[in-house]
Structure 1
Amino acid sequence: MDDALAHPSRRTRWLRRKLTLCAAAAVAVALLVTGSGYWVRASAAEHVYELASVPAAPVALVLGAQVRPDGTPSEFLAGRLEVARRLVEADRVRAVLVSGDHREWDYDEPGAMRRWLIDRGVPADRIVQDHAGLDTYDSCLRARRVFGVEQAIVVTQSFHIERAVTVCRRVGVDAVGVGDDSVRRFERAWRWGAFRERFAAVKAAYDVLVGRDPALPGPPETSLDDALRE
């Protein structure tokens, strides 16, 4: 038997040390989550708008989300795409950059997003795909480095929009955001997304602080410039 556990006094001291360490770790995590959340909210303040009042920008950056096995966007992704469609319809943007995950050949978020928009009247030559937007940070950084985006309206769900705007602004995109609320009816998924944001803010702060490179950097592309000239 471990000597620390063989004697009651030693065992008590051992347990107290363990509890103290656990309590300190819990406090540190709480402070980290709280501080990161405050940073996200403060950085996005005055840069998140309703659809009707958002300032015009050259590009709408639509962040990817789940695509069904049949290749159609989930309700959450469709909600984002509808916001982008309405931005195009209202002449608030001239082009749409759809950014998502296409690591697997049979799972293509940008392709599904492009088809959805075309089917609803957005001209194909005004849609550009980023197939390596593997997370929010990668989408924002690649928008700046690969596609040359300097100013954009970021589109995602409203529980995510502050983090998305903050990250984009911190990597050099003059970004404002419009959040989609149309899928609040999916209460369980909505609550989970809002809860997850508390911890995603910590990752966002870390990525920005260390200046992480995107998972798939890629060379600069001119496809968005071509779309903006149309």
Structure 2
Amino acid sequence: MDNISKKKESGKNKKKMLIKILCWIFFICIVLILNIVAINLNIVLKEKNKILSTEEASNLNADCIIVLGAGIRKDNTPTWILEDRLIVADKLYKNGAAKKLLMSGDHGSQEHNEVRVMRDYSLNEGVPIEDIFMDHAGFETYDTMYRAKEVFGAKKVIIVTQEYHMYRALYIADKLGLDAYGVTSDLRFYSKKMVYWKFREYFARVKSFIKCITKPEPKYLGSPIDLKASGTVTNDEE
């Protein structure tokens, strides 16, 4: 075989190998997409029946109402998303759905104290300070639910968040052994970024699905706190 023929044969082999590699990449991508879709469908279908109206949830007599953090502004006021969660949670509390509020958010530094902002909002709405517990280490939804059970001793909870986030929150709570129900807090239009947040949620559900299998401890755990006591034990003022 002359050099030209060898080069042609080599070129054909490289082309075949490239096609084979591309086919494998395509196959792997399809499998990954199908798994992401399957996990998301599983979570949504499993938890959708546990989402209740404010009126339905008012008869649950839960241990606490969990309010999930959603960011604060530079002037230490809640974002719209967080404010709506607080509005719904306060309404549930006043309707007798639970005797305690559990504010769970990011208190990663002295300058960023999300849970204090959440607590102060509810205080201004007339909720007694002894009925508001602050979870200073609710850095993500998984940590919040883990700590709600293992630190605060909750068994039956009502979760307040927006619908796009609710399915994942309920799924995590369920897998960690909580008897959890949800009340959505979509009270207004938030931002065009909601499309991005909903898209990101597809992958967040996959991450949570895996964590609920391995069940790692949260970043911070800490000593038990009795929800039947006064919420002032969780205050952080000096």
With normalisation by structure 2, the TM-score equals 0.88
| 1:66-118 Cα distance to aligned partner (Å, 9 max, x none) | 11112111000001010101011111111100001111221111111101111
CA positional deviation for 1:141: 0.6
**Amino acid in the other structure paired with 1:29:** L
Q: Could you say which residue in structure 1 is the equivalent of 2:90? A: 85
Q: Could you say which residue in structure 2 is the equivalent of 1:186? A: 190
Contact 2:81/2:190 (<8 A) preserved: no
Structure 1 counterpart SS, 2:117:
helix
Q: Could you say which residue in structure 1 is the equivalent of 2:210? A: 206
CA positional deviation for 1:17: 2.7
Take 1:85 and 1:123, find their aligned partners in 2: how far apart are those partners?
11
| 1:38-63 Cα distance to aligned partner (Å, 9 max, x none) | 22123213211111222422310111
Take 1:188 and 1:52, find their aligned partners in 2: how far apart are those partners?
30
Take 1:101 and 1:166, find their aligned partners in 2: how far apart are those partners?
21
Take 1:219 and 1:90, find their aligned partners in 2: how far apart are those partners?
31
**Amino acid in the other structure paired with 2:75:** D
CA positional deviation for 1:7: 4.0
Aligned length: 222
Contact 1:159/1:179 (<8 A) preserved: no
Take 2:211 and 2:197, find their aligned partners in 1: how far apart are those partners?
20
**Amino acid in the other structure paired with 2:36:** V
**Amino acid in the other structure paired with 2:144:** S
| 1:135-156 Cα distance to aligned partner (Å, 9 max, x none) | 1111001000010000010011
**Rg (Cα) greater in structure:** 2
CA positional deviation for 1:187: 4.3
CA positional deviation for 1:19: 1.1
Contact 1:95/1:227 (<8 A) preserved: no
Structure 2 counterpart SS, 1:106:
coil
**Amino acid in the other structure paired with 2:221:** P
**Amino acid in the other structure paired with 2:178:** V
Take 1:81 and 1:192, find their aligned partners in 2: how far apart are those partners?
23
Percent identical pairs in the alignment equals 30
Contact 1:62/1:155 (<8 A) preserved: yes
Q: Could you say which residue in structure 1 is the equivalent of 2:176? A: 171
CA RMSD between the two structures:
1.8
